[in-house]
Amino acid sequence: MKMDKNHTVVKVEKETEKVNAKVWSRELGCHTAIKFQMRTFPDVRVNVVYTMIFLIGLILTAAQLWPLTDFDPKHSCTQPANQENWERLDKSEPQQPQIFSESFLHEKVDASSIDTSHGELRVFKPHGLATHLYIEMSAYRGGPRQFSVVGLTSKPIESHHQPPYACEWVSNATGEVVKGRPHKVLPDWDYGKLYTVVVITCNFAKDVGVDGEGGELILYASYGDQYRQPERIVVLTESKGTYNSSIFDPKNFPYDYVYCGSSVYGDISPQRMREWMAYHAKLFGDGSHFILHDSGGFHDDVRKVIEPWIKQGRVTLQNIRQQEIFDGYYHNQFLIVNDCLFRSRFLANWTFFFDIDEFIFVEPTTTLSAVLNENPNITQITIEQTPMAKDLCVADNTTSGEHESRWGFEKLIYRKVLKRGIRYDRKFVVQARHAEATGIHMSMDTRHGQNLYPKGDKIRYYHYHGTINKRQEVCTRFVDAGNKTAVQRHEKHYHRLDESMAKLAKDVKLFELNTVGAQPFIV
């Protein structure tokens, strides 16, 4: 074959090809001729440039045409060894696209009402999971025919669908199913983020589970639409013999007072926590119990000062760090205080709600019991706030070491002068058995009794805002000792001297020493 001299001459005298063997490839799953024996002349010359252009063009053409062809699995190298499988596939009816699949929806959806028979069908495939329908935390029995269930629900679903709930009791002994009447409360005042707190009170027309045989409380959480069935959740299981009606009688409550703490997070000062714990253990007395909630704030140093109180049975420390996964308001504090409300319902006659930078103060002329029980019709008392300067102290003649070793409420002795017309937050104490839910500053859902909003002449709380997570000396501004009693202008506010708390420091320190022994000073 002769070509122009400007081109490369390729001579091929003879080319033979033999298939020596056919080898079954396990990876490809088909018969492929993989052994060839080629014999070529050594003087073959190829125009590399033209050959590459031709191959690239061929590849590009194939890439454009390939998507337009129907894929035939019989021509694929991945067909199964059993040819009957392909014959059976050929004879089957055409496969319709799977519009709704549990494999990618992660939920059961009833799409029977959606018409997919006409038009160009488009498929919407969800990926990931933004929020869950319901996050279960706890459920408590409130009496022979009442239960309270605490949890989180998706705020978008609650806001737009307002889904209903249902509850029932299933007896272990007879299998009888008793329908309840649910009452829903959203106690977080719409502060929730992705999740909002929901408290469900399940009321029954008759006593359930009082036979002592045990049973289950079932909650049905709805999506609020026509496509999804409600989720059936076993929120409480009572074993045989656990029902005890005597716990509902206030005479049998094990404590006088229970403290319910909110979510504690951040780099908490061990010394401030130590002072708070010792002070209130003394104030509330031996007949009290503290329920604290660790949302990341009880690091090793804080646990060192709390551990002695735990060993004495005065404190229960609950690890709630997992709640950070579910984005609610302020480390889910509404969720936590509502759980504690029902947990303490039959532990004490009075349950306190305030923070660990706040100190309850009762005037020495009276007692805590006298203030709380003055009127038997009162079931909730809100407590007036006295905000304190967080860094203003008196410059006295003590050495720096002596000054630093003083307790925080011993040194911070200037209270903010309250302005007229401004509402300052209150905290509260409530008879938990009479409340269906609670907020942070008071319960708006008490079922019995009256609320009392007293002035701070008998009971109040001192608020040392900004000190609990300050792991250094709190005093950074000083007042001359000779000018101690004068009104001080500090951070755009007027402050007056108030040594009510400071006067109690000596007795509190002695109480701590006698109760749990010497404790480390860890700022």
Residue spans of the domains in the chain: they are 122-245, 255-516
The pLDDT assigned to 396 comes to 81
Segment holding 156, helix H or strand E? helix 155-161
Quickly state the pLDDT bin for 53 (edges 50, 70, 90).
confident
Dihedral sign, Cα of residue 111, residue 115, residue 117, residue 118 = negative
Using alpha carbons only, give the angle 413, 416, 418 rounded to the nearest 5 degrees.
Answer: 145
- Percent of the chain's residues with pLDDT above 70: 81
pLDDT tens, residue by residue, 149-179:
999 999 999 999 999 999 999 999 999 999 9
pLDDT tens, residue by residue, 268-280:
999 999 999 999 9
Q: Looking at beta carbons, which pairs linking 230-236 to residues 24 or more positions away fall under 8 Å?
A: 230/166, 231/133, 231/134, 233/134, 233/136, 235/136, 235/139, 235/149, 236/139, 236/140, 236/141, 236/147, 236/149
Mean per-residue pLDDT, 503-519:
97
Q: Over 70: is that where the pLDDT of 259 sits?
A: yes
Q: Over 90: is that where the pLDDT of 58 sits?
A: no
Dihedral sign, Cα of residue 497, residue 501, residue 506, residue 507 = positive
Q: Over 90: is that where the pLDDT of 48 sits?
A: no
Quickly state the pLDDT bin for 284 (edges 50, 70, 90).
very high
The pLDDT assigned to 310 comes to 98
Q: Which residue, 230, 222, 231, is CA-closest to 163?
A: 222
Mean per-residue pLDDT, 475-484:
93
pLDDT tens, residue by residue, 434-467:
999 999 999 999 999 999 999 999 999 999 999 9
Selected from 3.40.630, 3.40.50, 2.60.40, 2.60.120, the CATH number assigned to the domain covering 122-245 reads: 2.60.40
**Least reliable range by pLDDT among 324-328, 335-339, 396-400, 425-429:** 396-400
Q: Distance from first CA to last CA of the chain, Å, rounded?
A: 97
Mean per-residue pLDDT, 94-104:
50
Q: Classify residue 410 as exposed, middle or buried by CB count within 10 Å of its CB (0-12, 13-18, 19+).
A: buried
Q: Over 50: is that where the pLDDT of 40 sits?
A: no
Structure tokens belonging to residue 111: 């799409």
Q: Do 420 and 449 touch, CB atoms closer than 8 A? A: no
What DSSP string runs through 415-472? EEPPPTTPPPP-EEEE-GGGBS---SS--S-B-SSEEE---TTTEEEEE-TT-TT--S
The pLDDT assigned to 37 comes to 41
H-only helix segments in 27-110: 48-65, 83-91, 102-105
CA distance 289 to 510: 20
Amino acid type, 106: H
The pLDDT assigned to 419 comes to 87
The pLDDT assigned to 364 comes to 96
pLDDT tens, residue by residue, 309-349:
999 999 999 999 999 999 999 999 999 999 999 999 999 99
Amino acid type, 55: L
The pLDDT assigned to 99 comes to 56
**Least reliable range by pLDDT among 23-32, 302-311, 400-409, 416-425:** 23-32
Mean per-residue pLDDT, 227-236:
95
Quickly state the pLDDT bin for 55 (edges 50, 70, 90).
confident
Segment holding 300, helix H or strand E? helix 300-311
Q: Over 80: is that where the pLDDT of 44 sits?
A: no
Q: Which residue, 17, 243, 262, is CA-closest to 143?
A: 243
Mean per-residue pLDDT, 70-90:
44
Class of domain 255-516: alpha beta
Q: Which residue has the higher pLDDT, 427 or 105?
A: 427
Mean per-residue pLDDT, 8-37:
39
How far is C-alpha 488 from the geometric centre of its chain's CA atoms? 43
Average pLDDT, the chain: 86
The pLDDT assigned to 401 comes to 75
Q: Over 50: is that where the pLDDT of 112 sits?
A: yes
The residue assigned the tokens 């993989």 is: 34
Q: Over 80: is that where the pLDDT of 36 sits?
A: no
Q: What is the pTM of this model?
A: 0.80
